[in-house]
Amino acid sequence: MSATSPESAPERAKEKPLERADSLFARLFGVFLLAIVVAHLLAFAWFHYYGPHRPDMPPPPPPEQGFERGPPPGFGAPPEGFRPPPEGFRPPPPPPPRLPFWSAPFAFQLLALILAAGIGARLLARPVQRMGDAALRLSEDLDSPPLPETGPREARQAAHAFNRMRERIREQVQQRSRMLVAVSHDLRTPLSRLRLRVEEIDNPQLRTRIGQDLAEMIGMLDSTLHYLQQERASEPLQWFDVKALADSLAEDACERGADVGVDGYCAPLKVHPWPCVHA
């Protein structure tokens, strides 16, 4: 038995552009592309308003042609009225060094890429985490709710395949339970008849041994039915026609020669139908 994917290669080749855009790859590509564009726009704005060539900065003076300007007169001599600092004077500490002008754009790009990486990792991890939680719930309870088929295309395909697998598992378990119930319930009737016929055996020792074997077999069948009944105890309540069940049992008893009749009326009840039918 070979498993087939929900979409084959020819079907994927016929996808429309809008359907391709609804994929996990397209979403991740869009997130990173948006982060790069925003980071470059912020860097351009920073260079434009705070860089060395911002528009409000005056242009430098043009260089003079033909001669070189020398130092002004008295260059290097202390100005008039200059007094040396007193002894023990310490000049104030220099201001802290300023960060280079390109550090802010670099920080913008780094922050945008970190945010994009976080969003991309979340997009990748969320479907896997949801499927893991659904698988854990399914292992504990076959009647757990199905996995929501939402998100990008790949996540929806995986959720759809998981829900189909869940339904198949539930159907197989229910078929197994129904088969075991039918076999166990059908075997109880001939075993009960054999138990009655054992009483007609004249040999007491043989009668005791056969009776013990029949009692053991009936006990195993009762244990199986009890186990299946507990399995079905979690099923939802359903409306059940008790009057129809009583009429059916009375007809079966009449066919075996008993004088049984049913009189009266009973409204349908909301019960677990399996214990009522196989009691």
Beta bridge partners of 239: 270
> What pLDDT digit, counting tens, does each position of 25-78 carry?
777 777 777 877 787 777 777 777 766 655 555 565 555 554 455 555 555 566
Q: How far apart are CA 196 and CA 207, in angstroms?
A: 11
Nearest to 33 by CA among 120, 137, 107, 144: 120
With pLDDT > 70 as the criterion, what percentage of the chain qualifies?
65
DSSP H or E run through 227: helix 204-231
Conformational region of residue 76, where left means phi above 0, alpha means psi within -120 to 50, and beta covers everything else = left
Greater confidence, 54 or 125?
Answer: 125
Entry field: residues in the chain: 279
Burial class of 230 by CB neighbour count within 10 A (0 to 12, 13 to 18, 19+): exposed
Distance CA 230, CA 233 (A): 5
Give the pLDDT confidence of 76-91 residue by residue, as tens digits. 566 666 677 677 667 6
Percent of the chain clearing pLDDT 90 (strictly above): 3
pTM for this model (two decimals): 0.47
Query: With contact defined as beta carbons under 8 Å apart, do 260 and 218 qualify?
Result: no
Average pLDDT, the chain: 73
Neighbours of 245 (CB within 10 A): 16
Which single residue is written with the structure tokens 């104030």? 92
Work out the pLDDT band at 102, boundaries 50, 70, 90.
Answer: low
Torsion, Cα 220 224 225 227, to 10 degrees, reads 130
pLDDT of 182-216, one tens digit each?
Answer: 777 777 778 878 888 888 888 888 888 888 888 88
- 248-274 pLDDT, tens digit per residue, is 777 777 776 777 777 777 777 777 665
The answer to whether the beta carbons of residues 267 and 240 sit under 8 Å apart is no
Element (H, E) at 29: helix 24-50
3: pLDDT confidence band, cut at 50, 70 and 90?
very low
Where are the domains positioned within the chain? 19-54+104-140, 165-235, 236-279
